[in-house]
Chains A and B, each alone.
Chain A
Amino acid sequence: MTRSAKRRGELLAGYIVPNRPHVLLAPEKNRGWQSLHDAFANVREEIAESGADLLLLFSTRWVSIIGHQVQADPAPKWWVVDEDFHEFGSLHYDLKIDAEFGESYVRAAGRRGLHARTVAYPGFPIDTGSITALTLLNPDNALPASIVSCNMYSDRAETLVLGKAARDAVEQCGRKAIAVAVTAFSNRMFTEWIDPAEDRIHSQKDDEWNRKLLELLGQGRLEDVSQLAREFTRQANGDSKLKAIWWLAAALGQNNDYRGRVFDYQPVWGTGCALVGLKPIARTAANLEYDEDDVESFTGDRNVLSGDEDES
């Protein structure tokens, strides 16, 4: 009997973690970066005690065009160098990937109408966000991981479906998974070189919006934050429209029934970066109104301008 036939899997918790390599490669250059680096230890401890057997990541730093890609090389070993911050050094990695789960995730995505595929190529450049997160959350590869890309064209509906497919796959494979959204909040970087010690959130407006979202997340109101994502992105230049939050909220069940904990919040080169934990609890989210549409399956690009070559 296979493992998937033995038990029904579940998502034990969700985390939001920073996606910039500064906290791994150069934490000593800024107190905030060091603080984030150190706060990873608290998340690492929680995960170690959770009984999880899979870390499932969505990274905004892994951009795809052809649908969504899921890493399925069981032991990727290579290195990458950040496009901007190459002088901080190289990120060498040697990871453990749950390739079987990756295949299941792709099938689950396909059942919901998404175009998805696994990638398993020696030398494939795993993104700096995923490497930073996995190195700090799972330094000894105690848990296998899975990583899914962020499609540059996808909007909320497609991303929600991708999150639901993640949940499908976890349940069907019998995994005890931790979902990790690798993302910034406000994503306005400084466009000039700064003294790292002087780093700050790019603007007060970005800072206030970040703090509002973190206040809600601290109350466990993940679905509220998911539904605020469009406005947040308009106001505070959300990282990739906050797709990682859409994905996380959909994967975890689209509700506000979590015990939220904000481990840390700091600037990284002007962006807002936080470590947040969300553990499901039994609670009824009363008196809340969700305005955004929900969607169960993806029906394709709304390419209304396409058509016959000759429209004359």
Chain B
Amino acid sequence: MSTNGKIVTGCLAPHPPHLVYASNPDRNEPRSRDAGPWKVLLDGYANLRRRLAQRDFDVIVVHTPHWKTVVGTHLLGVERFSGYSVDPIFPNLFRFRFDLKVDVELSRAIHDEGQEAGLVMKMMENPEFRVDYGTLTALHLTRPAFDLPIVCISSNRAYFYYSNEVGDREMTALGQATRRAIRRTGRRALCLASCSLSHRHFTEEPAIPEDPAFEGIYNQNQRRWDEHILDLIARGETRRVMDEMPDFIQQTMSETSDGSLSWLLAAMDFPAIPGKVHAYGTVIGTGNAIVEWNLEPGGDEDGP
């Protein structure tokens, strides 16, 4: 393990269970006919995986919207979880067997750093806790072997309880705490923000979920905003992304209101390098992008 920890790579890694369903892994029970309209996103994830395989990581740190906590930010604090996860929203698509290890030392370090920064933090130490599908999906799509320990960070409800601005401030503090903990523990980390961009769903689903005739953006306002945010990311203007985040959330019901992207940008210290956009596509009306920030020296200049 390295002596000077760092975030090697940060990714926007959305978690629609549709993408797991569409790729028919053995560990997921439902079967899809084909990749359907989500092929562009699956191809983007494949490209991301190919590039990540060329780098060494000790740990994957995931911030997930589907572990929603009101009382502060929580982290998994048990060394191993295994079991069967059924998505309560899309149980027809995601019934997934998993077995994963947790880097409890790093989790606790993030907990302590967050607490030191004034955040309400909590370790989750109930061994029967069900790891959320936002975490499992993002992990499966970026590193399906599940061979690295993980840190799983919950989504605090500050955006909903107070305001988008308060939420962003908390996530900035949490991201900074995460960076300090990674550095202090000497980890080489892959950080994943497991969220969509625009996030208004269709509330109906076709009999065959992968039927491409049904898929599309919920409305053009969402697409325009998504394109705008991705344009800023591609130009390396991450601080401006953060500046515009409250408006983006308000106008697109963005899932970034769960804090994942703001946390990631802060953890990476708002990199001024271009983010590599591997794919953009819609899933049941929501806008999803797969983005990579390679923070290794010269990482912003590497190839496709």
* A207–B128 alpha-carbon span in the complex (Å): 35
Q: Known contacts being A65-B203, A115-B204, A119-B91, is A86 close to B124, with CB within 8 Å?
A: yes
Do A87 and B126 have beta carbons less than 8 Å apart? Answer: yes
Asked if B130 and A151 make an inter-chain contact with CB atoms under 8 angstroms apart, the answer reads: no
Q: Does A203 contact B (CB under 8 A)?
A: no
Distance in Å from the Cβ of B17 to the closest Cβ of chain A?
11
Q: Besides A67-B204, A84-B74, 11 other CB < 8 A contacts?
A: A63-B89, A66-B90, A80-B130, A84-B70, A86-B125, A87-B125, A90-B128, A121-B86, A193-B122, A306-B219, A311-B220
Nearest A residue (CB) for B84:
A123
Q: Given the complex, which residues of A lie within 8 Å of B154, measured CB to CB?
A: 83
Q: Which residues of B contact A81 (CB under 8 A)?
A: 126, 128-130
Q: Are B86 and A124 in contact (CB under 8 A)?
A: yes
- Assess the A90–B126 pair: CB atoms within 8 A: yes
Contact with A along B172-212 (1 / 0, CB 8 A): 00000000000000000000000000000111110000000
Q: Which residues of A contact B85 (CB under 8 A)?
A: 123
> By the criterion CB–CB under 8 Å, are B219 and A153 in contact?
no
Q: Determine the chain B residues whose CB is within 8 A of the CB of A190 once the complex forms.
A: 71
A residues near B128, Cβ cutoff 8 Å: 79, 81, 90
> How many chain B residues touch the partner (CB < 8 A)?
38
Bound-state CA distance A83–B129 (Å) is 8
CB 8 Å contact bits of A108-138 with B (1 = contact, 0 = none): 0000000100010111110100000000000
Whether B67 is near chain A, meaning CB under 8 Å from some CB there, is yes
Q: What would 11 A/B residue contacts be, using CB atoms closer than 8 Å?
A: A64-B88, A84-B69, A84-B70, A115-B203, A123-B95, A124-B86, A125-B88, A192-B71, A303-B219, A305-B218, A306-B220
Q: Which of A140-157 contact B (CB under 8 A)?
A: 151, 153-154
Instruction: Tell me the complex Cα distance, A191–B69, Å.
Output: 9
- Contact in complex: A66, B71 (CB < 8 Å): no
Interface string of A245-268 (1 = CB under 8 A from B): 000000000000000000000000
Chain A's interface size range is 35 or more
Interface centre among B161, B203, B216, by most A CB within 10 Å? B203
Chain B 235-260 interface 0/1 with A at a Cβ cutoff of 8 Å (1 = within)? 00000000000000000000000000
Interfacial residues of chain A within 70-119, with CB under 8 A of chain B in the complex:
79-81, 83-84, 86-87, 89-90, 115, 119
Chain A residues with CB below 8 A from B202, complex form: 301
CB-nearest residue of chain A to B162? A191
Residues of B within 8 A of A83 (CB): 67-69, 74, 154
Q: Are A191 and B120 in contact, CB atoms less than 8 angstroms apart?
A: yes
Closest-CB distance, A302 to chain B (whole angstroms): 11
Q: Is the CB of B70 within 8 A of A67?
A: no
Contacts of A309 in B (CB 8 A): 216, 220
Interface: B72 (CB within 8 A): yes
Across the interface, do B86 and A123 meet the contact criterion of CB distance under 8 Å?
yes
Residues of B close to A39: CB separation below 8 A:
none
Looking at the assembled complex, report how far the CB atom of B170 sits from the nearest CB atom of chain A, in whole angstroms.
10
B2 contacts A by Cβ under 8 Å = no
Question: In the complex, what residues of B have CB within 8 A of residue A119's CB?
Answer: 91
Complexed CA–CA distance, A81 and B69 (Å)? 12
| Per-position binary interface string of chain A over residues 264-289, scored 1 when its CB falls under 8 Å from any chain B CB and 0 otherwise | 00000100000000000000000000
User: Is A12 in contact with chain B by the CB < 8 A criterion?
Assistant: no
State A90–B84 Cα separation when bound (angstroms).
Answer: 16
Contact of B221 with A by CB under 8 A: yes
Mask, B83-106, CB within 8 Å of A = 1, is: 011101111000100000000000
CA A160 – CA B204 in complex, angstroms? 18
Q: In the bound complex, what is the Cα–Cα distance between A124 and B87 (angstroms)? A: 7
